[in-house]
Amino acid sequence: MTIGEFSRRSQLSLKALRLYERLGLLRPTDVDQRNGYRRYHESQLYTARLIVMLRLLDMPLPEVGKVVSASRTEAAEIIDSYWASAESRFAAQRQVMDILRPGVAASEMPARELPVRERDVAEQTVLTEQRHIYIGQLTWTREAAARLTANAARCGGVAGERFVIFHGMVTTDSDGPVEVCVPVSHPPEDPAELAWRVEPTHREAFIPVTKTHFEVPAILSIYDQLARWVTAPGRRRAGAPREVYRAGIEPLFATAGQQICDVAIPFR
């Protein structure tokens, strides 16, 4: 059949057919050397329609080429592998969306320079959980804090404000790690039963964060401001950035002006 008829029956445009010919995905069975007319065989409609369906899955052309050239069994395995990867990506993107949308809808960008405060923090015994997480998985910190708080009674009770330490960058491509800490009165009686450590005494700079600035991306600007302050001439960072949460405040239900946490960075 002519390229025009093949285009209509395969639902591929002439432009797409020429592209796929150049890429070797779908070559015509015959090309007239005198006038360049291209002809396709009806049996090629299967391949053409397969390409159409794979592109509807947003499968990249190199992957489409692998499917087209593979055996039926191998082609099915390639499609399964691609879709598993796509679903994993969609799940991660959905988590990012759950974090981003409230921030865009409700938060405001902080002033260019918020006041930076300083304080000395005494040595603390803390129950701790640590995990590698991406930005879409930050809800884990609330779950970990709840577990640690529930276990604090076995260590004399909660003895201070819980805090979350970001030991590494947390983005869509970088997974921390992130550590959740709950101060307690004393170590567990059986040190092997619960994860705990001593948070050393230090001096830290901090900026109080209200609900207005708490959500992503607004809170990231506060991290930027604080990082500039602790690295100014005469100062240097002495620990990983952290969020120190107010006791009894649930961020989801806080009012706009209510203080939720301090963004803090130890320094010398």
Q: What is the pLDDT of residues 127-137, one digit of tens each?
A: 999 999 988 88
- The packing angle between helices 72-106 and 61-69, to 10°, is 160
Looking up residue 47, the CATH number of its domain turns out to be 1.10.1660.10
Give the domain range for residue 253.
Answer: 117-266
Instruction: Please state the domain count of the chain.
Output: 2
User: Are 71 and 161 in a shared domain?
Assistant: no
Same structural domain for residues 55 and 153?
A: no
Number of Cβ within 10 Å of residue 136's Cβ equals: 19
The pLDDT tens digits of the residues spanning 138-196 come to 889 999 999 999 999 999 999 999 999 999 999 878 999 999 999 999 999 887 889 99
Domain boundary among 37, 68, 84: 84
Judgement on whether residues 38 and 123 belong to the same structural domain of the protein: no
Does the structure show a pLDDT above 90 at 74?
yes
Angle at 127 between CA 126 and CA 131, to 5 degrees: 115
Looking at the chain, list the stretches that DSSP marks H as alpha helix, in order from N- to C-terminal side: 3-10, 14-23, 45-56, 61-69, 72-106, 140-151, 211-214, 218-230
182-209 confidence digits (pLDDT tens): 999 999 988 788 999 999 999 999 999 9
CATH number for 194: 3.20.80.10
What's residue 196's pLDDT?
97
Is residue 241 pLDDT above 90, yes or no?
A: yes
Indicate whether 200 and 75 sit together in one domain: no
Q: 251 and 152: one domain? A: yes
Q: Which residues, listed in sequence order, are joined to residue 163 by a DSSP beta bridge?
A: 181, 244
Strand-strand pairing, 124-131 and 178-184: antiparallel
Q: Are residues 78 and 129 in the same domain?
A: no
pTM to 2 decimals? 0.68
Question: Residues 142, 253: one domain?
Answer: yes
Q: Quick count: other Cβ atoms within 10 Å of Cβ 94? A: 10
Do 128 and 220 fall into the same domain?
yes
Would you place residue 121 in the very low, low, confident or very high pLDDT band (cuts 50, 70, 90)?
Answer: very high
